[in-house]
Structure 1
């Protein structure tokens, strides 16, 4: 999977952080299209892998130190047109809070049953499949 193609916008790496039967969602101060609640995410920087970017963004936005377990999938997001790479992550240390208050205004640990309330248009298939198997344990 290519994180960055010359002449194009950098890919966005999203951290799918699960902990104690829930997934971490963040609410951006500025909506991206119809997106309000989403996963901690940001641009993959030059020389950085999608996994490294997901871990960095989680730390910068929420204060959590996470380990990237695996890339779940990649797509061009239907609402933003940006290449998205979704990375499954596990909490290593810290507790989640709004650290980057210029970008975020809220965070929430969301159960599997609550996801449609936060993301009514549905999740990317591989992300939903990961959460179905991880959060139902």
Structure 2
């Protein structure tokens, strides 16, 4: 994504404070949060989609993660998850297909984790500014990447907290 991003400032319960904050501006307000989203896309065979961050990313280049990013000001959590998935991978899903697995609190962000089941083998077209590669992997592969330090560092705590619920929600239907 290019250009200026504005984020809604949220309280600890995830409610908007009425303020917006420009991404990258110093002075994030203490005790406030912005919303980030991620989506676990699962195929009928149980494979899940991981993306590898572009080498040009300032944080965690070439590390694996579930597709996601920041919600923009005025954007709902589900809409942000749908948009981020489409922008990073080209995979299109309807907002109402996204199932919220849980929310994880970080120092200045709240992560909403979604799961969505897809039919067949969707064509993945990565946004090279954001994503270097994508792979359909098993849960054992996710665990191996996590254990080998190949997942982006924030995913260590996220997966420890949300992983069991995510894995059970990602059972093919």
Pairwise CA distance, 1:77: 3.6
**Residue among 30, 50, 69 paired with 1:42:** 69
More strand as a share of residues: 1
Ranges in structure 2 where 5+ consecutive residues have no aligned partner: 1-12, 21-31, 148-155
Higher RCO structure, 1 or 2 (CA under 8 Å, sep 6+): 1
How many residues of Structure 1 are paired with residues of Structure 2 in the alignment?
Answer: 134
TM-superposed deviation, 1:46: 2.1
2:101–2:169: 8 Å Cα contact kept in structure 1? no
CA-atom RMSD in angstroms: 2.9
Report what 2:104 is aligned to: 75
CA contact (8 A) 2:103 2:113 kept: yes
Please list, as runs of the form range in 1=range in 2, the aligned pairs for 1:1-137 lying within 5 A after superposition.
Answer: 2=14, 4-5=16-17, 6=19, 8=32, 10-20=34-44, 21-29=46-54, 30=57, 32=59, 36-67=63-94, 68-77=97-106, 81-91=108-118, 94-98=122-126, 100-120=127-147, 121=156, 123-132=159-168, 134-135=170-171
**Superposition misfits of 4+ residues, deviation over 6 angstroms:** none
**Greater CA drift, 52-61 or 5-14:** 5-14
Query: Equivalent residue of 2:118, what SS?
Result: strand
Query: Structure 1 124/47 Cα, relative in aligned 2: closer, same or farther at 3 Å?
Result: farther
Q: Compute the TM-score of the two structures, normalised by the length of structure 1.
A: 0.78
